[in-house]
Structure 1
Amino acid sequence: MRRPFVFILLLCSCLLAGAQTSVGGLKLLDVYVVPHSLSFQNTTVGGLSGIDYDAKTGLYYMISDDRSSINDARYYAAKIHIHQNKIDSVVFVKAVTLLRKNGRPYPGTKQDPHHTPDPEAMRYDPVRKQLVWSSEGERIVKGKDTVLEDPAITIIKTNGKYVDTFPLPENLKMHATEQGPRQNGVLEGMTFADNFRSLYINLEEPRYEDGARAEVTENDAWVRIYKFDVASRKNTAQYAYKLDPVAYPPLPADAFKVNGIPDILSIGNGRFIVLERSFSTGRLPCTIKIFLADTKGATDIKNNPSLKNKPAAKPVSKKLLLNMDSLNAYVDNVEGATLGPLLPNGHRSLLLVADNNFSDKEQTQFFLMEILP
């Protein structure tokens, strides 16, 4: 197995979260597809919804959104070997079960739907040598079958053992009425910033009080980005980010469609790479737009209960870096992004991972991109 010289640079201090990175554009270098239903350590690899890179060890941490249905809720660690600007191989090295406070794995929906997680994002904290992952919770309102499970941000050791949680603000609590987060549109993306002193996490879709979901035509679809102080674990600020419209009309016209944020990635000084993912029934590929967003000067809306009634005076600014529809390549359900190692020309790499939803019609894809200064 080839081990390219770029990995000599893994200890570079510039890979610390929040380090300054110049982003003028993005260039696709390679796409790598993991075989469907790959078996590893008695688990089925799939549902990869978040990815993060530890520069010191060269490990990539990837959380699966398996809700303890196929196997116990888990994350994977892997080595992604890059040679001559190509992904040579993705080698999984361990599968780790996520554990509850009682030391047991999380139950599936058939065992205990009120405590079944919906894992979506994961980041590694090399300062504390811990992982942080998010769950979207659940909101099913069906009379006696109502399930209201709040989202969660959980800290674990690398062996999967529970450490603690971040207390969440009231506006992230689930309700049986149309208040708070929508089902499956909650804590989706996550990133450390400010040399691991801050943690940012975003909603995928608007809360009920903040307005309507994204439509095919332009509308005010506002999602919140939450900033937490890692030391105190307190939510210190919230910012408003406006989603683009859904990229394509669904077929039929009243079928499912969505546009939201699957991940965010700090590149320093209040700036972020933000992914927007649009899907419409009748079209298998997703439309993935990658933006450069800036929170500098944005209004803190932490005390604003409704963006529908009182929009932010200044939302997060954003600039399109790449619409992946332009790549002339099949693009599946991209959900995770991380900065990778430096490339031979000294430019930073960006790696994306796509969640195959454990479907034989979808792919677990890894995209290798070059960040152009």
Structure 2
Amino acid sequence: MRFKLFPVIALLLFGCSAPQKMRSSTSGNAVPTAISALKFLDEYEIPFGLKYSNTWVGGLSGIDYDRKNNRYYIICDERSATSPSRFYTAAIRIKGNKIDTVQFTGVHTMRMQNGKAFPSLKEGAQEAADPESIRFNPKTNRLVWSSEGDRAERNGRVNIKDPWIWEMDLNGHYLDSFALPRNMHVQTIEKGPRVNGVFEGLGFADNYKTLFVSVEEPLYEDGPRADVEYAGAPVRIIKYDVSTKKPLAEYAYLLDAVAHQPVPDNGFRVNGISEILAINNNRLLVIERSFSIGNAHCTIKIYRADLRDATDVTAMSGLNKNKTYRPISKKLLLNLDSLNRYIDNIEGITIGPRLPDGNFSLLLIADNNFSKEEKTQVFLFEIIP
């Protein structure tokens, strides 16, 4: 989802402690599967208007780390307005506990099934992509990415476009797609997913055998959106079998209330999931992003979510009223409102390389929406075991 964001804050935060566990990646390096706290280390700002290989660097909406090759994949959420829908590769050099440089090393056009680049909304709304998240699978050497779809009047007609999760090669060519659950089809009536509130987050788990996909806001049939005085709006997290590309289950995650009253009172406000990151087979880091017009900042929270006891709600509807299911449990790790630093529109998260003390790094990336009033930031944290 894109909207204008303003200053927030970041420094040092503690959560509840847990013994550190590790799992092996394909490169043989262990990565953390349990996180008790995050410690802020550094911020790096990518200049506004930066051009790379004749593209405008901005709208960076997802990031993932290829540990074996020390390479980052970063997706751009531009709908082919200035350049075709694309993703970048980058080298992020961490020196000590600081980000020394962020250097873009490649850009790749993402392509439709017919091999052509995606058109812009003006050129072809029915085919245009709305990229949001990207994950690298070292088992297959492929990338998975999500698009939110569309439900809006475009060029004089209402455009209905389903969201998707696609697999592509490292050059952006389409390879395969994940099956879309029946309740995730965009419709002309108020049923199914809300516009600009669908597949925002992706996370591989179980040694890349499963993929979690987060929906940003509640389906229409699951009740109203989060609001200032409404906590507990249910959003769905889908679990997929990577080999069959079919959904295995859906789980309900209950959002916090919108953090701040908008100005005016009836102004735009939102809270939803902007990204997820799997840390083991049943636990995710979940980013909740809240914004209210007229406020000087947005509120970013990172939760540790546990799916072990959650109910499969695939066959259920009306989750806001149905009290027979168990939602995903969640524990707050980091609330950026409690810190003292400007933080913009956080949409990407990944575990990075080890730091000098042996602990792993965590990186966040902010989407500047191609606006001079916002910043493209990369934040570096230490994962405390």
**TM-score, normalising length: structure 2:** 0.91
| Residue in structure 1 matching 2:75, options 63, 70, 73 | 63
- Specify the alignment match of 2:21 in structure 1: none
Unaligned 5+ runs, structure 1: 1-8
Which letter does structure 2 place at the counterpart of 1:342? Answer: R
Offset from partner CA, 1:265-313 (integer Å, 9 cap, x none): 0111301111001111112432110111000010001111331342452
- 1:120-146 C-alpha deviation (Å, 9 max, x unpaired): 000001110100100000011689611
Structure 1, residues 163-186: CA drift from partner, whole Å, max 9, x if none?
011111110000100000001000
Q: How far did 1:319 drift?
A: 0.5
User: Given the alignment, which residue of 116, 120, 142 partners 1:104?
Assistant: 116
2:283 is the counterpart of 1:271: yes
Q: Residue type matched to 2:303 in 1?
A: F
Q: Is residue 346 of structure 2 the alignment partner of residue 330 of structure 1?
A: no
Provide the C-alpha distance between the structure 1 equivalents of 2:178 and 2:46, rounded to a whole number of angstroms. 33
For residues 74 and 295 of structure 1, the distance between their equivalents in structure 2, rounded to whole angstroms, comes to 32
Distance 1:359 1:318, change over 3 A: same
Q: Is the 8 A contact 1:211 1:220 kept in 2?
A: no
CA contact (8 A) 2:26 2:138 kept: no
Q: Which residue of the partner structure matches residue 45 of structure 1?
A: 57
User: In structure 1, which of residues 272, 286, 292 is the aligned counterpart of residue 298 of structure 2?
Assistant: 286
- Counting matched residue pairs gives 361
Distance 1:220 1:199 in 2: 24
Residue equivalent to 2:216: 204
Structure 2 residue aligned with 1:83, among 85, 95, 98?
A: 95
**2: CA distance, partners of 1:61 / 1:247:** 31
Uncovered stretches (5+) of structure 2, i.e. residues with no partner: 1-24
The offset of 1:30, in angstroms, is: 0.4
CA distance in 2, matches of 1:14, 1:227: 24
230, 250, 274: which one aligns with 2:242? 230
Q: Which is worse superposed, 280-289 or 236-245?
A: 280-289
**Local SS of the residue matching 1:219:** coil
Identity rate, percent: 49
Corresponding residue number in structure 2 for 1:5: none
Aligned partner letter, 2:117: P
Determine if contact 2:360/2:383 at 8 Å carries over to the other structure.
Answer: yes
RMSD between aligned residues: 1.6
Name the structure, 1 or 2, with higher relative contact order (CA <8 Å, separation 6+): 2
Distance 1:144 1:32 in 2: 42
- The equivalences for 1:236-275 within 5 A come to 236-275=248-287
Question: In the alignment, is residue 73 of structure 1 matched against residue 85 of structure 2?
Answer: yes
Aligned-pair CA distance for 1:89: 0.5
- Structure 1 residue 94 corresponds to structure 2 residue 106: yes
Specify the SS of the correspondent of 1:105.
coil
Partner of residue 306, structure 1: 318
Asked if the contact 1:240–1:312 (Cα under 8 Å) also holds between the matched residues in 2, the reply is no
In structure 1, C-alpha distance between the alignment counterparts of 2:259 and 2:202, rounded to whole Å? 24
Give, in whole Å, the separation in 2 of the partners of 1:174 and 1:116: 15
Q: TM-score normalized by structure 1?
A: 0.94
* Residue from 368, 371, 374 that aligns with 1:362: 374
CA distance in 2, matches of 1:33, 1:88: 11
